[in-house]
Structure 1
Amino acid sequence: MLSRSSTSRADPLSDVLTVLGARSGGRTRLEATGAWGLAFPERQRLKLVAVLRGACWMILPGEPARRLAEGDVFLIGSSTHAVASHPDIEPTDGAALYAEPGCDVVRLGGDDTIMIGGSITFASAEASFVLDALPRFLHIEKTSGSAAAVSRTLDLLDAEAGREHIGGSLVTTRLAEILFVEAIRAYVAEHGEACVGWIGALADRPIGESLRLMHGAVAHPWTVAALAARVGMSRSAFSARFARRVGKPPLDYLTSWRMLLARQLLSERETNLASVAREVGYLSQSAFGHAFKRTFGYSPKAEHR
C-alpha cells in the first residue's frame, strides 16, 4: 500500500491515496513486432505504461488516436482502450493474454516495440475521488520539461526488471508506485492551470494551500471566510476560484474528504462512532450520521459492524 506522508506539512495526494487503499497491481511487459493490436476493458484503476523501445498508438473511444514514442509514459484512467502498431489494426482481447496467474509478459512475434506497465488499484469503492480528478488519458512525452524525474525512474525500473536479484519483485513494485506519483507531478506541472479537479488545483497557489489546510486539520471548524483569509483572498473570489478549479465549493469538498476518512476509520479501527465523528470534525454524532448517510447511502453504524 502506498504509505502516508511522514512530514508535518499536509500532502493531499498522499492522504487520498492512503485512505482509498491505493496499491500497486504489479508489473506487466509487452514485446511486439509487425502488425498487432490489443484491446482492454474499463476498470476502476489507474494504469501506467512506459514505452521502452519503438512506438505504438493509443486508441480511446471518441478521441483521435495518439502516437507514443520511445521514452513516453502514459496514464489511463477508468476507460476502455486499445494499444496497437497502427490505429487501423483491429485489436484482439489483450486482457485474456494476461489472464493466466503469473503471466505478466506477452510476446507478439518480436521486440521492435517494448512496453512495461503497472496499475494502481483501490481497496475503497470510492476510487472515483481520484479517477474523476484526472483525465482519461495522461500523456507525458519524453521531451516534456517535466519528464526528467519520470525518465530517471523509468530507467531504474527498466534496469531492475532485467535482473534476477533477491527482492526484485518488491523493488519493481515500489518503483512503479514512484513512477505513478512522478507522472501525477508532471501532469500538474504541465497542465495544472488548465485542468479541473483537486489534483490539478494543487498547482494553484491559494487553492492548493487551502486544500493542504483542510487536509492538515480536517477536524477544524473551517468556514469559507476563514480559508479565504488564510490564503489572502476575499471570500467571494476564493469561493468562485475554488469551485472553478476543484469542481465543487470548498465546504462540499471538505465534507467529501471527511466522509472518506471517516469510512476508513470505521472499517479499520476498534473505535466508537462518537470518537470517529470528533476526529473528522463533528461534535454531534447525529450530524455526523446524517452527513455520512447523504454521502454513502447508509448509516455509519452499518460500516462499523
Structure 2
Amino acid sequence: MVLSRSSTTARDPLSDVLDVLGAHVARLTRMEAGGSWAFAFPLANRLKFVAVLDGEQWMLVPGQPRCRMKAGDVCLIGRTPYVVASDPEREPEEGTSLYPESGSDLARVNSGDGVAAIGGSIAFPDENGDFLLDLLPGFLLVERGARASSAIAAVLDLIGSEFRRDAMGSDIVAARLADVLVIEALRALSDDGDRSRTGWLGAISDPRLGRALRAVHRDLAAPWTVAALAEVAGMSRAAFSAAFSRHVGRPPLAYLRYWRLTLARTLLRKGTATVDEVARRVGYTSQSAFANAYRHAFATTPRSRSPVA
C-alpha cells in the first residue's frame, strides 16, 4: 500500500499542521456582560480563543501586559491561566461555572448590556494538540486594525449575524465559522509583517526560516540535514541553527523529528497503512530506528498504537 502524499501533505506549514492535527472548535460559548465583573480561568492543556463582538473587555495573562480588547479583536490562549474582566483591578470570581458541561453555552452577567464576546476550546484528536501547543506562546492577540485582519472582521460579522438571526441551524453555522475564525487568526499572526515576532508563527513569516519550514513540510521524508536546510534558507549553518532554535524553541532536526512522529501517529491511528509504510512515509528507512524514536517520543510502540500492526 502506498500512502497518497497529496492527502496528507499540505502546501504550507500552517495548513499542514492544522490538517494533520485535525483542529476544530469543540464548544462555542458566548458571554453578554454589563456592569463590573471579572472571571478567572485556570491553566489547561488546550488552545482557546476569545473574540469581542461588541464593547470592550480586559484580558489579564501572567507575565503579559494588560490587554484591552475591543470589538473585532481576537486572542488565542495556550497553556496559561487568564482573567477576563470589565475592570482589571476587580478581584475575579471563578469563571468555569459560567459554562457547566451540561449547561447553556450563553452566559449573561449583570443584565448583559455592555460586552458581547465569544470563546471556544480548540480540540485535537488524542494527544496531537501537544505539537501545536508546544510551538505557540501562552497568549497571542490579533487586533481588528492589524494587517491581514479583514477576513477576521468578516467572519466575526457573520457569527454575530447568526446569533442575531437565531434561525434553524445557527449553532452549527456559528461553530463552523469559529473554525474559520481560528485559522484566520493564526494566518494573520503568521503574516503580520512583524519580523521581531518569535515563535513558530514568527519563523513561518521570516523570509529565510520560512523557506526552510516550507521545504520540510513539502518533502518530510527527504534526508534533511542542518546544512541542507541552512542552504535552503540562504544562511550559514551556525546562523540558521541559532535563529531556528531561538524562534521555534527546538533545534531544526528536533523539530523535524517531532513533526515526523506526530504525523506518523496520526497515520497509524487511521489504520490504513502498516508500520513499515508509515515509517518510510515520514522519512525512516529503518523500522527499528522508527520504533525507537516513536517509543522515546510517546512512551509506547508504533504497533501498540496501530490497528493494523
Q: Same fold per TM (> 0.5)?
A: yes
Displacement after TM superposition at 1:104 (Å): 0.5
What is the aligned partner in structure 2 of residue 149 from structure 1? 151
Give yes or no for the alignment of 1:225 onto 2:227.
yes
In the TM superposition, residue 124 of structure 1 has moved relative to its aligned partner by 3.1
Contact conserved, 1:20 with 1:124, CA < 8 A, in 2? no
By how many angstroms is 1:201 displaced? 0.6
Question: Residue 240 of structure 2 aligns to a residue in which SS?
Answer: helix
Q: Is the 8 A contact 1:5 1:15 kept in 2?
A: no
**Cα offset for 1:118?**
2.2
Residue in 2 that maps onto 1:37? 38
| Residue aligning to 1:171 | 173
Structure 2 segments unaligned to the other structure (5+ residues): none
Aligned to 1:47, the other structure's residue is in SS state: strand
User: Once the 2 structures are TM-superposed, how far is the Cα of residue 270 of structure 1 from its aligned partner?
Assistant: 4.1
Name 2:94's counterpart in structure 1.
93
Which residue does 1:10 correspond to in 2?
A: 11
Give the match for residue 25 of structure 2: 24
Q: Could you tell me how far 1:8 is from its partner in structure 2?
A: 8.0
Q: Which residue does 2:80 correspond to in 1?
A: 79
Q: Which residue of 1 aligns with 2:162?
A: 160
SS in 1 for 2:285: coil
- The percentage of aligned residue pairs carrying the same residue is 48
| 1:172 positional shift | 1.1
Shift in Å at residue 115 of structure 1?
0.9
CA RMSD of aligned residues (A): 2.3
Is this contact kept in 1: 2:10–2:217, CA < 8 A? no
Separation (CA, whole Å) in 2 of partners of 1:238 and 1:75: 28
Q: Name the CA distance, whole Å, in 2 between partners of 1:115 and 1:298.
A: 41
Distance across 2 between alignment mates of 1:216 and 1:240: 23
Q: Deviations over 1:70-97 (max 9, x none)?
A: 2222221121111111112222222112
Deviations 1:88-111 (A, max 9, x none): 222222211210425110111222
Offset of residue 37 of structure 1: 1.4
Matches within 5 A, 1:178-189: 178-189=180-191
Q: Deviations over 1:128-169 (max 9, x none)?
A: 321232221212222323332221211111112222334322
Q: Deviations over 1:16-69 (max 9, x none)?
A: 223323121232111111111112122222221121222111122344432222
Once residues 90 and 132 of structure 2 are traced to their aligned partners in structure 1, the CA distance between those partners, rounded to angstroms, is 32
Secondary structure of the residue that 1:202 maps to in structure 2?
helix
Structure 1 range deviating more: 7-16 or 59-68: 7-16
Distance in 2 between residues matched to 1:131 and 1:146, nearest whole Å? 23
Distance in 2 (CA, whole Å) between partners of 1:30 and 1:5 is 41
Match of 1:266 in 2: 268
1:291 to 287, 290, 293: 293
| Contact 2:58-2:66 within 8 A present in 1 as well | yes
Deviation at 1:256, TM superposition (A): 0.7
CA distance in 2, matches of 1:6, 1:286: 26
Is the CA contact 2:189–2:201 (under 8 Å) kept in the aligned structure 1? no
The superposition leaves residues 167-215 of structure 1 with CA deviations (integer Å, 9 ceiling, x where unpaired) of 3223211211111111112222337522333222110122112111111
Please, what TM-score do these two structures have when normalized by structure 2? 0.89
Match of 1:202 among 204, 212, 217: 204
The alignment of Structure 1 onto Structure 2 pairs a total of residues equal to: 302
SS of corresponding position for 1:24:
strand
Instruction: Give the match for residue 48 of structure 1.
Output: 49
